[in-house]
Amino acid sequence: MKKFFDQPVWPRRALQIFFFVLIALIAFNHHLKDTDSVIQFLSSVSLHAVCPFGGVVSLYQFFAVGTFVQKIHQSSFVLMILVFLLALLFGPVFCGWVCPLGTIQEWVGKLGKKFFKKRYNHFIPYNLDRYLRYLRYALLAWVIYMTAITGKLVFSDLDPYFALFNFWTGEVAISGLIILGVTLLGSLFVERPWCKYACPYGAVLGITNFFRIFSIRRVESECKSCGVCTRECPMNIPVDDVLVVNDHQCISCLECTSEAICPIDDTVLLATKGAKSW
């Protein structure tokens, strides 16, 4: 236990475990709702009801006709608003601190780091990688368009998040299972491959990095240009080459900060413009 609390940014680790267990419990319990084994206070909750992305894909139908897309609950709208407000303050903390799919990619990635050491997360050439990162915006546009014209949650058949917590139920499409398998396999070579290249919700939240209130900032006068912040960034952002990290791929994990791995105190930190630290 002491080793856990000695880890850098341990509150993030704790929240990741908490939300992973919570979502797994909700998903498992939902399939027990007609049995005596069900946990009553969670019995009416489904995975779709606790997914903020459901609110995003329902926006068109909600404003056009005042209804939600099939399977989407009002709670998805509430969660969407809460997550977006949080992102306006601190960036995509949902991605880095909450999302169970991002968490399991990190856990699988730990095996990749043991196998490949420093080569891990550096297999894809930069000239290819920088273009692949925009695929998630194309997927976002497709999902929103198809959901708007069909009124159905078309993404559920492709969603590795849904597949992760329902693979044992028979409700998951083969396409979802294949994408989940490719994502987990890819995590052995690339940190968070789904987050980087495909996640449509990550694409939405990534935009908030351009105008968030609290940003990751590098104090140039204190920086020794050792490059450790860039090497440890799971999203391969060149932190040591910028003063403010406003890259659309930042997930606000804080792994690059002085609280985590930067060897110089108060050099890389979460702060507002003009403030030294937060």
* Statement to judge: residues 167 and 267 lie in one domain: no
Rounded mean pLDDT, 183-208 = 96
Range of the domain at 127: 2-208
Of 208, 242, 258, the residue that ends a domain is 208
Same structural domain, 116 and 177: yes
What pLDDT is attached to residue 2?
A: 46
Question: Are residues 237 and 263 part of one domain?
Answer: yes
Secondary structure (DSSP) of 45-59: --TGGG-THHHHHTH
Q: How far apart, in whole angstroms, are the C-alpha atoms of residue 75 and residue 53?
A: 11
Higher pLDDT among residues 63 and 173, named by residue: 173
Q: Which of 208, 227, 255 is the last residue of a domain?
A: 208
How are the residues of the chain apportioned to helix, strand and coil, as percentages rounded to the nearest 5? 55, 5, 40
Q: Which of 150, 175, 208 is the last residue of a domain?
A: 208
d(CA 1, CA 268): 27
Residue 250 scores a pLDDT above 80: yes
Distance between CA atoms of residues 127 and 137, nearest Å:
18
Judged against a pLDDT cut of 60, whether residue 59 lies above it is answered with no
Tally DSSP H helices, then E strands, for the chain.
14, 3
Whether residue 180 sits in one domain with residue 223: no
> Which pLDDT score is estimated for 144?
85
One domain for residues 201 and 221: no
Kindly tell me if the per-residue pLDDT of 104 is higher than 90: yes
Task: Note whether 159 and 244 are same-domain residues.
Answer: no
Specify whether 176 is located in the same domain as 270. Answer: no
Pair 8, 261: CB distance under 8 Å: yes
pLDDT of 276: 53
- Residue 258: burial class (beta carbons within 10 Å; 0-12, 13-18, 19+): buried
Residue 124 is predicted with a pLDDT of: 93
Exposure string over 57-92, b if 16+ CB within 10 A, otherwise e: bbebbeeeeeebbebbbebbbebbeebbebbeebbb
Q: How many CB atoms lie within 10 A of CB 270?
A: 19
The tokens for 127 are 């000239």
Say if residue 197 is in the same domain as residue 241: no
Q: Across all residues in the chain, what is the average pLDDT? A: 84
Q: Which tokens belong to 217? A: 């900032």
Q: Are residues 204 and 227 in the same domain?
A: no
For residues 135 and 254, state if they share a domain. no
Work out the average pLDDT over 115-141.
93
Q: What pLDDT does residue 13 have?
A: 93
Distance separating alpha carbons of residues 10 and 137, to the nearest angstrom: 31
CB 193 within 8 A of CB 105: yes
pLDDT tier for residue 277 given thresholds of 50, 70 and 90: very low
Tally of structural domains, the chain? 2
CB 216 within 8 A of CB 258: no
- Is there a single domain that holds both residue 245 and residue 149? no
Same domain, 199 and 262: no
pLDDT at 141: 92
46 pLDDT higher than 70: no
pLDDT tens column, 211-233: 999 999 999 988 988 989 998 89
When comparing pLDDT for 72 and 221, which is higher? Answer: 221
Given a contact cutoff of 8 angstroms between Cβ atoms, the answer to whether 141 and 56 are in contact is no
Residues 6+ positions from 125 with CB-CB distance below 8 Å? none
pLDDT tens-digit series, residues 139-184: 999 988 888 787 777 788 888 998 998 887 878 889 999 999 999 9
Q: Averaged over 39-64, what is the pLDDT?
A: 59
| Confidence class for position 192, pLDDT limits 50, 70, 90 | very high
